[in-house]
Structure 1
């Protein structure tokens, strides 16, 4: 499986994909996993994924801001040194 894909698919892992993931039923009756428990877990995973995506976006913005401030500072220092 390639990084950023879902079960060998081409879409990046996204909270919506986790929430909407369906599992096959196994056998007759109540064999296999409890569907409610699986659904609850998937919602928890989706929530965590959404939180992490927001944090990554926030950190990206902060990184951009800091880089811009550093470039501005470096330019100001270079201008001070130039007679």
Structure 2
């Protein structure tokens, strides 16, 4: 069962409040136990190949998110600098009368 979903303040992403974010290394290292009933037709190599593919995709998403966050910070800083310059031009005396 997924659990309550809310906005993660650290990442700005919506996620389950019960489980932490899944990381690529967690997918790669995941192993499935065999039961006394056997593997139930699962080929361990195919499962591992799929997990590796999911981990690669997840790593790409994490990289893209990191790039987006860095770009947003760069835009925010550039906007603040521009706003400061505009304020200085509008009031060159620096607020002195």
Give the Cα separation in 1 of the matches to 2:64 and 2:71: 10
Give secondary structure in 2 for the equivalent of 1:25.
coil
Q: How does 1:36-51 map to 2 (within 5 A)?
A: 36-51=45-60
CA-CA distance at 1:24 after TM superposition: 2.0
Give the Cα separation in 2 of the matches to 1:32 and 1:16: 25
Structure 1 position 71 matched with structure 2 position 53? no
Q: How does 1:17-36 map to 2 (within 5 A)?
A: 17-26=26-35, 27-28=37-38, 31-36=40-45
- Cα RMSD (Å) of the superposition? 2.1
Runs of 4+ in 1 over 2 A off after TM superposition: 1-5
CA-CA distance at 1:12 after TM superposition: 3.0
CA-CA distance at 1:25 after TM superposition: 1.8
Give the Cα separation in 2 of the matches to 1:81 and 1:12: 46
Query: Please, which runs of 5 or more residues in structure 2 have no aligned partner?
Result: 4-14, 93-97
Query: Please, which runs of 5 or more residues in structure 1 have no aligned partner?
Result: none
Where relative contact order (Cα < 8 A, 6+ residues apart) is larger, the structure is 1
Give the Cα separation in 2 of the matches to 1:4 and 1:13: 11
